[in-house]
Amino acid sequence: MARLLEVQDMRFAYGKTEVIHGISFYIEEGEIVTLIGANGAGKSTTLNALSGLQRIASGSILYQGHDISKESPQSLVKKGIRLVPEGRQIFPAHTVEENLLLGAYTEKSKDAIRDRMESMFNQFPRLRERRKQFGGTLSGGEQQMLAIARALMTEPTLLMLDEPSLGLAPIIVDEVMQLLASFKGTGLTVLLVEQMANQALEISDRAYVLETGNMVMDGTSAEVAGDPRVIEAYLGNV
Amino acid sequence: MLQTLAFGLSIGAIYALMALAIGMIYSTTRILNFCHASIIMVGAMTAYWCIGVYHLPYWVGVLAAIIVNTIINFIIYYTCLKGLGDLLSNVNWIITLFGMSVVLNNVARMVFGANQNPFPYLFNGASITVGDATVLWHEIFTIVFAVVIGVTYQQICQKTKFGRALRAVSFKPQTAKLMGISSNLIIQLCFMLAAVVAAIGGVLIAPTTFASFSMTTTIGLKGYAAALIGGLGDTKGAFVGGFLLGLIECIITLFIPAGLKDAVSFVLMILVIIFLPGGVLSAKIFTHGRSATEKV
Ligand SMILES: Nc1ncnc2c1ncn2[C@@H]1O[C@H](COP(=O)(O)OP(=O)(O)OP(=O)(O)O)[C@@H](O)[C@H]1O
Ligand SMILES: [Mg+2]
């Protein structure tokens, strides 16, 4: 299978403090890949770099064979890379519908936007009921669904999610994970970042473990989930 | 009394336009544009040169003011703000903007001279008499223009794709970028809109203050007061703050020495900031106890 994304020896620094010390990983087309790491490991930093929000210090990010490490977030959205950011970042004073319209900001065709919105509402009936409600009034689970729907408005190729389970009740986390699992086979490629990784490993094909800016382990999800160190550090509260 | 009311409301309309422009820039950048008063002055002086010195038509003067203001606002954005990095995490913009306003005032004095120049009213100063009161059409139109501009801006914010993006940037530029919005472009458009509003406000107030390099020294500060009284970045609030301030000033001069007028405005502003930090519209009677999430 072709590699959709290939990160090579990526380093990242906030000012003079390097926090990502040359990591390499890849994602194949159609895969679900989980990136596990503790607080401060550099997960969000990695995703922000991949989505163009921040510039890497060195290394390369190849997407569909081209280096995208110097591109703007707008151009990456147009190329099909979408990030569902940590903490969901729903626009609280925009209605649900407006949040979805913002998700489709780069889409020019009104018809395409309408169709996409309709299909999102079919997939997430709760959002249809609340279409005129402000984003800030939704429950945490609804906000996460909205954040994902918002990112899907441009039919992305690579969907990246930064700790989508953060702060959600276990039953809602199940729902989110089932949703992500359902993307399997639709052509969508998923990079999932999690701290507590039980369910993420269940639905993903492969996994990487990031520790204080270094990639310390990789393998199939089953291999990673079976590793004693991973079990102790990341699969604790089952 | 009607005469005082009309004058108060027309001054209030000018304050409202200032507060609106200050709010436009605040909502996307979280900075207070301390140059705004100077920009109004530069625009009005430009218009004065076109109309008063070169005898060009009024609309040419307004257009020239809009163009000059836009250019200056872009210069301000690129020299005083763009290079400072994250504007939320440092306050260097206070210094750069204050510095720039001094530069603008000095340069204006050098270029335009220190004279107080008369500036034409709309409709050549025609007025309408109601009972024993004489109200200038200029005053009436100042109020109408201000309200039309405010309503238009509000509609743009609520109903258009640009407005949606503007409010998104206003919430968080980073998140807006993830939607594919160029936060930078939206911020620049806000600076442009603010420049246009400043130009219009400038030509409308110039007949009252006269056109000079110091025409906005006092009145400019009132714009910030109105913005804070109404609630920063809140369009409705800008108008409530502006009209309230204009009216109170005019009515209060009937009872206290005119020299204290400006002090009253700022005492009012301080009281509002202390008791209603979100502006008068954040008071319970307006929000019915709900928090005012929907701004702009
Ligand atoms: N804006 C910033 N400026 C300076 N250092 C930062 C900044 N953001 C993050 N860091 C540092 O970079 C390192 C990686 O942070 P990052 O947010 O990527 O971690 P994370 O794996 O996403 O953690 P979490 O699970 O808490 O979200 C941490 O040491 C953090 O303190
Ligand atoms: Mg993080």
Tell the burial category of A187 from Cβ atoms under 10 Å away from its Cβ (0-12, 13-18, 19+): exposed
- Domain annotation covers residue B205: yes
The rounded Å distance from CA A43 to ligand 2 centre is 5
- Domain annotation covers residue B165: yes
Which pLDDT score is estimated for A1?
67
- Domain annotation covers residue A12: yes
Mean pLDDT (whole number) for B217-232: 87
- Domain annotation covers residue A227: yes
Are B179 and A102 an interchain contact pair (Cβ–Cβ within 8 Å)?
Answer: yes
Q: Given the CA of residue A210, which atom of ligand 1 is nearest to it?
A: 21
- Domain annotation covers residue B183: yes
State which residue of chain A sits closest to B178, comparing Cα positions.
A73
Chain B contact present for A105, CB below 8 A: yes
Angle at B176 between CA B170 and CA B180, to 5 degrees: 145
- Domain annotation covers residue A126: no
CATH of the domain at B129: 1.10.3470
pLDDT at B223 over 60: yes
Pocket test for ligand 1, best of A17, A39, A43 (most atoms within 8 A of CB): A43
Angle at B175 between CA B171 and CA B181, to 5 degrees: 95
Q: Please give the residue that has the higher pLDDT: either B295 or B222.
A: B222
Chain B contact present for A93, CB below 8 A: yes
The rounded Å distance from CA A232 to ligand 1 centre is 23
CATH of the domain at A168: 3.40.50.300
Q: In this prediction, what percent of chain B has a pLDDT beyond 90? A: 42
pLDDT at A25 over 50: yes
pTM: 0.88
CA B182/CA B231 separation, integer angstroms: 27
Residue-number span of the structural domain to which B76 is assigned: 2-287
Q: Is the CB of A40 under 6 A from ligand 1?
A: yes
- Domain annotation covers residue A96: no
Which pLDDT score is estimated for B260?
81
Q: Chain B interface, mutation test: which of A75, A102, A113, A138, most B Cβ atoms within 10 Å?
A: A102
pLDDT at B294 over 70: no
According to DSSP, the β-strands at A81-84 and A66-67 are: unpaired
pLDDT single digits (tens) B226-282: 988 888 888 888 888 899 999 888 888 888 887 787 888 788 888 888 887 777 777
> How many pairs of residues across A and B have Cβ atoms under 8 Å apart?
63
pLDDT single digits (tens) B161-204: 999 999 999 998 999 999 999 988 999 999 999 999 999 999 99
- Domain annotation covers residue B292: no
- Domain annotation covers residue A143: no
Task: Please give the structure tokens belonging to residue A10.
Answer: 């990526």
Task: Please give the structure tokens belonging to residue A209.
Answer: 């473990």
Q: Chain B interface, mutation test: which of A89, A96, A159, most B Cβ atoms within 10 Å?
A: A89
> Which range (B1-15, B60-74, B80-94) has the least confidence?
B80-94
Which pLDDT score is estimated for B287?
56
Number of domains chain A is built from = 1
- Domain annotation covers residue B105: yes
- Domain annotation covers residue A80: yes
According to DSSP, the β-strands at A158-162 and A189-194 are: parallel
CA A50/CA A42 separation, integer angstroms: 12
Chain A contact set for B164 (CB, 8 A): 94, 98, 101-102
- Domain annotation covers residue A131: no
> Which range (B59-73, B127-141, B159-173) has the least confidence?
B127-141
* Residue A111 pLDDT grade (very low, low, confident, very high; cuts 50, 70, 90): very high
CA A206/CA A33 separation, integer angstroms: 5
Which pLDDT score is estimated for A12?
96
Q: In this prediction, what percent of chain A has a pLDDT beyond 70? A: 98
Which pLDDT score is estimated for A196?
76
Which pLDDT score is estimated for B234?
85
pLDDT single digits (tens) B19-55: 999 999 998 888 888 999 999 999 999 999 999 889 9
pLDDT at A164 over 70: yes
Chain B contact present for A85, CB below 8 A: yes
Q: Please give the residue that has the higher pLDDT: either A144 or B119.
A: A144
Ligand nearest to the CA of A39: 1
Nearest to B44 by CA among B247, B222, B220: B220
Pair B268, A66: CB distance under 8 Å: no
Average pLDDT, chain A: 93
- Domain annotation covers residue A201: yes
Q: Chain B interface, mutation test: which of A91, A108, A116, most B Cβ atoms within 10 Å?
A: A91
Which pLDDT score is estimated for B92?
84
* Residue B292 pLDDT grade (very low, low, confident, very high; cuts 50, 70, 90): very low
Number of domains chain B is built from = 1
Q: Is the CB of A187 under 6 A from ligand 1?
A: no
**Residue A229 corresponds to which amino acid?**
R
Which pLDDT score is estimated for B291?
45
- The nearest CA of chain A is from the CA of B174 a distance in Å of 7
Chain B contact present for A98, CB below 8 A: yes
The protein residue whose alpha carbon is closest to atom 7 in ligand 1 is A14
Which pLDDT score is estimated for B286?
61
Mean pLDDT (whole number) for A76-91: 95
DSSP codes of every residue in chain B: -HHHHHHHHHHHHHHHHHHHHHHHHHHHH----TTHHHHHHHHHHHHHIIIIIS---HHHHHHHHHHHHHHHHHHHIIIIIGGG--TTS--HHHHHHHHHHHHHHHHHHHHH-S--B--PPGGGG-EEEETTEEEEHHHHHHHHHHHHHHHHHHHHHHHSHHHHHHHHHHH-HHHHHHTT--HHHHHHHHHHHHHHHHHHHHHHHHHHH-BSTTTTHHHHHHHHHHHHHH-TT-HHHHHHHHHHHHHHHHHHTTTS-GGGHHHHHHHHHHHHHHH-TT-GGGSHHHHTTS------
Mean pLDDT (whole number) for B109-129: 84
- Domain annotation covers residue B66: yes
Chain A contact present for B159, CB below 8 A: no
pLDDT at A156 over 80: yes
The protein residue whose alpha carbon is closest to atom 25 in ligand 1 is A39
Q: Is the CB of A85 under 6 A from ligand 1?
A: no
DSSP codes of every residue in B44-110: HHHHHIIIIIS---HHHHHHHHHHHHHHHHHHHIIIIIGGG--TTS--HHHHHHHHHHHHHHHHHHH
pLDDT at A4 over 90: yes
Q: Given the CA of residue A37, which atom of ligand 1 is nearest to it?
A: 21
CA B62/CA B143 separation, integer angstroms: 17
* Residue A52 pLDDT grade (very low, low, confident, very high; cuts 50, 70, 90): very high
